[in-house]
Each structure stands twice: as structure tokens, then as C-alpha cells.
Amino acid sequence: MSAPQAPVFRVRNLCKTYRSGEVEVRALRGVDFEARGGEFIVILGPSGSGKSTFLNIVGGLDRATSGEAWFRDHDLTRANEAGLTRYRRDHVGFIFQFYNLVPSLTAFENVKLVTEIARNPMDPAQALALVGLEDRMDHFPAQLSGGEQQRVAIARAIAKQPDVLLCDEPTGALDSKTGVRVLEALTAVSARTSATTLVITHNAAIADIADRVVQFADGTIASERRNDSRKPASAVSW
Ligand code: ADP
């Protein structure tokens, strides 16, 4: 049996309070979390329960108010702006609900934008082939369906060969059939690149494709479960 892998993420008592004027919102109230290399984790929870705040902090897009968040030996709660930018550039691939593609660039060029500044990129054509878009590389976003645009966004996220893939409602704007195709692409690239993958969704049907399911409520992790076996994305519907 191989030795257990060290955690990729270690989060302890993470708290985040947003303040605007007199108003305080306690978005995270003491989150403890670990993720191991290559794990595929689905994060469920009602709107406002702190999921995006959590993902943004472990992705180096936002800062905690207190507590600790480590990526390997990088202390994300004490890093300065330049350190967080480096962390994001070198280690993290993001996928959001809305694809954020550059409309005036082709699918290939959208991916190339990232590979040009990455340390260890794959060929943009290879990244697009991994999500099944080898025939659409020269199309502009407006010439692609929503699901295809999201697959370009996945290709863009994985083309720099990130250690972690952070996905915030990646199928939130898609119908079931298209969403399943996107999840198939996501699980395939996650397995292929061994990226630790965190997927936020409000859609409980998606939980079955995960190794582990984390349930947020009121700014904390209310429960966690491990799936004995993972369903293929093709077997999910909603
Ligand atoms: P979820 O992703 O589960 O929907 P969020 O992390 O987006 O939850 O939000 C958690 C809480 O923090 C919510 O009450 C939300 O309104 C609040 N919040 C999120 N971002 C900000 C912000 N930039 N300023 C003030 N409050 C915020």
C-alpha cells in the first residue's frame, strides 16, 4: 500500500467577516478542512452559506479575517499580494459559472493567453482536445454554445497544469444535458492531470461524482461524507 499523501490544503478555524460601515456579515465562522492530492470534492450548501468565500480564500483571491489556510507550505493567510498572485498563477486553475472568455479571441487564443504566462503549460491544442473541442479551436465564443464555452474555460484552467482546480457553480448556467457534458470534461481532465478539484454547486445530484462531499451551512462545514464509489458524470442528471 502506498503511503498516505500529505494534504494539499490545510484549513484551520478559518473566519471571514465582511464589514461595510456599521454592517458586519460573518461569512465564515470557523472552517476546518483538508484536501489531499488528486481528491475530487463537491461543496454543497444553500446560497449565502459561505461556499464562494471559502473557495476564494483557498484560491488566493480573497483574505481571511482570522484562522489559517495553507496550500502545501504556502501560508495563504499571511502571504502578501505579490505572493498570492504568484500562488494563483503557478498553482490554481479557476472555473466560474460565467465563462469569462475574451470575445474577440478564438478558443485557441483564449487558452493561449494563459499558456503564454504559465511556468509549465501544455499545448493549447492539447488542452482543447482534452475537453473534446479539437474541432472548434478556431471558433470565437459567440460561435460556441454555453456548454462549449464552459469547456473552453476548463481547457484554459487546466492548460497551465495547475495543482488545484477551483470551480464555482461550473454548471450553474447550463441545462442538464449540457451540464453533464461539462462535468464529463471536468472529471476527465481532473483525473488526467491529478489536480485536486473543488466544485461548488447548489445541485445535490452532482455530489455522486465526488470522492468526498462537504456540506456548508451558516459559514461552517455542517457535515462531510465520503462516497464509497464515484458515479461517472454521464450517470448524473437533474
Ligand atoms: P455562497 O457561495 O454559499 O452563496 P458566499 O460566500 O457568496 O456564499 O456569501 C456568504 C455571505 O457573505 C453572504 O451573506 C454574502 O452576502 C456575504 N458576502 C459575500 N461577499 C461579500 C462582500 N464582498 N461584501 C459583503 N458581504 C459579502
Give pLDDT, residue 238. 86
- How many whole angstroms from 142 Cα to the centroid of ligand 1? 31
The residues, ordered by sequence, that sit 6+ positions from 80 with a Cβ below 8 Å of its Cβ are none
Q: Which atom of ligand 1 approaches the CA of 46 most closely? A: 3
Over range 206-234, report the average pLDDT.
Answer: 96
Which amino acid residue places its CA nearest to atom 6 of ligand 1? 50
Q: Which atom of ligand 1 approaches the CA of 45 most closely? A: 3
Over range 192-216, report the average pLDDT.
Answer: 95
Q: Which atom of ligand 1 approaches the CA of 19 most closely? A: 25
- How many whole angstroms from 191 Cα to the centroid of ligand 1? 31
Please report the DSSP string for the chain in residue order: -PPPPPEEEEEEEEEEEEEETTEEEEEEEEEEEEEETT-EEEEE--TTSSHHHHHHHHTTSS--SEEEEEETTEETTT--HHHHHHHHHHHEEEE-SS----TTS-HHHHHHHHHTT-SSPPPHHHHHHHTT-TT-TT--GGGS-HHHHHHHHHHHHHTT--SEEEEESTTTTS-HHHHHHHHHHHHHHHHHHT-EEEEE-S-GGGGGGSSEEEEEETTEEEEEEE-SSPPPGGG---
CATH code assigned to 38-62+88-235:
3.40.50.300
pLDDT band at 49 (very low <50, low <70, confident <90, very high): very high
Within 6 A (CB) of ligand 1 lie: 18, 25, 27, 45, 47-53
- How many whole angstroms from 50 Cα to the centroid of ligand 1? 6
pLDDT band at 219 (very low <50, low <70, confident <90, very high): very high
